[in-house]
Chain A
Amino acid sequence: MNIPEEHIDLFEAYLRNTLSEKEVLEFDARLVYDSEFAKSFSDYQQIEKGINQHFRNKLKQNFQKIDEELDSKRSLSKVKPVRQKNKLVIMFSIAAAAVLILFVLNLSSSNPYEYLVAQNWPQEEGLPVKMSTKGKYDDAMNAYKLKEWDKAEELLSELDSDTANYFLGVVNYHQQEFENALDYFEKVAESSVFIKESDFRLALILLIEEPKKGKKKLLEISKSNSAFSEQAKMILKKL
C-alpha cells in the first residue's frame, strides 16, 4: 500500500475542514467511485490515529515511571530511619534535639501500616449539596469536596453533631492529624448512622498510632455484622 504524496495535503485539508464546499463535494464523490483513493484515505486516517496513539502511549509510560518512583520511595522509606539515624549519630552528635525531632519524623513517615491504611481507607464523597435548598452542612461539604481541609474543619467545628464529628475525623485523617482524627471518631455516638464507618476508620487509624489496639478493633469488626467485616478480615490476613 502506498499513499501518493500529492494526496497528503488534500487529505489534511479535508480532515481539517479547510476545503471549499465544491472541493468537499468532489472529494466525497471520489471516495465513492475511486476505490484506490478511498483505500489511501482510510490508511491515512489510520496513520493519524496511530500517531495519536503513539504519543498517548508515551504519556502513559510517564505514569508508569511515576508508579516506579512512588513504589521505590515507599520501600526506601521503610529502611530510612536506621540509615538516617546512623548518619546523624556519626555526623551531628551535638545536635541532640534536632536529631530527636528528625528521628521522630522519620519514624512517623515510615510507619509500615500507613500505606495499608491508605489503600483500605474508604472513599468518603461527603454529603450531597442541593442547589434548591440550603442545608447546615452545605458550606462545610463544599469545602470538603474541594479538599479545602482547613476551611472544612473550621466550618464543621461550628456544628455540634455526630455527623460533624465523623467528617472532622475524616478531614483530620487527610491532614495526617491522626490523634485528632481518633478523638473525633471516638466522639461519634453508637446511635449515629455513621457509627460503622466511624468504627472502621478508627480501627485503621489505630493501626497507625497503636497497632495492637488497631488489630484488636479490626478483629472486633471482622466478627461483627458491619459492612466492613470482610475488609477487616482481609486486612488482618495481610498483617
Chain B
Amino acid sequence: MELKQNDIIHQIKKGDEKPLFDLYKLHRDEFVAWCAQQFGATKEQAQDAFQDALLDFNDNIIKGKLVELTSSVKTYVFKIGKFKIINILKKEKRLTYHDNLQMIKGEEFEDFMDDENNAYTQEQISNAITQLPEDCQEVLQLHYFKEYDMDSIAREMNYKNADTAKSKKSICMKKLLVELNKLKMVLIF
C-alpha cells in the first residue's frame, strides 16, 4: 500500500478519492498513537482530526493551493492534523454550559448566532440535496465540491458539451432551491 507521493496529488486532482482512503488506512493508527502521546487525545478525537486533515489536504489540492509538496505527504497531513486536534481539544474545553441558562460560551456562541442568521441550516441543505435525482447530485458534487469546470463535467457525465453541462447545473440548482423552499413550507405549516 506504499503510495508514491508524486502521483497522489495528480490522482486527487483528477477526482480520484482512493489515495485519501489509502493514506487514511496507512497512517491512522500512527496518528492516533501520536495524538494520545502528545495531547492525551482519545481515539475518537484523533480519528476526527485526521479525517479533517485529509479533507483539507483534498481541498487544498482541488483548489490549486497545493500543487507540489516539499515534505512527505505524511508530514504535511500530520501538520494539518496537529492543528485540527489542538482545535478539537480547545473547542471541547471551551464548550461549557451554564447550569440554568444553557448558554454556550466562546466561539461556539458566535457559530450558533451565525446559524441563526442563515436562511437555511446545513441539515436542510443536505436533506434537499438528497431529494434531487442522482445525476443532479453528481453534477452539484462535481461543480461545487470537486470544482470541475464545465468541460470536465460534460466529459464525466457524458454530456454533449460544456453548454449542456452548464444548463444541467443551472437546472439542478433551481431544483435544489425548489426543494429547499418545500422544506421551509413544511416548517411554516
Q: Which of the segments B91-99, B101-109, B117-125 contacts the partner chain?
A: B117-125
Q: How many angstroms from the CA of A57 to the CA of B125 in the assembled complex?
A: 12
- B residues 10-29 near A (Cβ < 8 Å) are 17, 20-21, 24-25, 28-29
Greatest chain B CB density within 10 A among A2, A64, A123 is at: A123
Shortest Cβ distance from residue A177 to the other chain B in the assembled complex, whole angstroms? 16
Q: Is the CB of B72 within 8 A of A8?
A: no
The 8 Å CB contact of B29, one of A62, A115, A146, is A115
Q: Is the CB of B120 within 8 A of A60?
A: no
Main secondary structure of the interface of A (DSSP, over half): helix
Main secondary structure of the interface of B (DSSP, over half): helix
Query: How many A residues are at the interface, by size bracket?
Result: 35 or more
- Does residue B129 face the partner (Cβ distance < 8 Å to A)? yes
Shortest Cβ distance from residue B86 to the other chain A in the assembled complex, whole angstroms? 16
Residues of B near A60 (CB, < 8 A) are: 51-52, 55
Shortest Cβ distance from residue A232 to the other chain B in the assembled complex, whole angstroms? 12
The 8 Å CB contact of B21, one of A57, A66, A120, A121, is A66
Residues of B near A48 (CB, < 8 A) are: 144
Greatest chain B CB density within 10 A among A8, A59, A70 is at: A59
Residues of B near A3 (CB, < 8 A) are: 177
Q: How many angstroms from the CA of A54 to the CA of B121 in the assembled complex?
A: 11
Q: Is the CB of A47 within 8 A of B125?
A: yes
The 8 Å CB contact of A12, one of B32, B33, B170, is B170
Closest to A46 in B: B118
- Number of residues in B with C-beta < 8 Å to the partner? 46
Q: How many angstroms from the CA of A8 to the CA of B140 in the assembled complex?
A: 14
Residues of A near B85 (CB, < 8 A) are: none
Given contacts A48-B144, A57-B126, contact A8 B55 (CB under 8 A): no
The 8 Å CB contact of B122, one of A2, A54, A67, A145, is A54
Q: Is the CB of B33 within 8 A of A119?
A: yes
17 inter-chain pairs at a CB distance below 8 angstroms, sorted by A residue, are A8-B173, A8-B174, A8-B177, A43-B119, A46-B119, A47-B125, A48-B144, A51-B140, A51-B176, A52-B145, A62-B21, A63-B21, A118-B29, A119-B33, A123-B30, A123-B37, A231-B37
Binding site for A on B (CB under 8 A): 2, 5, 17, 20-21, 24-25, 28-30, 32-34, 36-37, 47, 51-52, 54-55, 58-59, 71-72, 74-75, 78, 118-120, 122, 125-126, 129, 140-141, 144-145, 170, 173-174, 176-177, 180-181, 184
Binding site for B on A (CB under 8 A): 1-3, 5, 8-9, 12, 43, 46-48, 50-57, 59-60, 62-64, 66-67, 70, 115, 118-123, 125, 145-147, 231
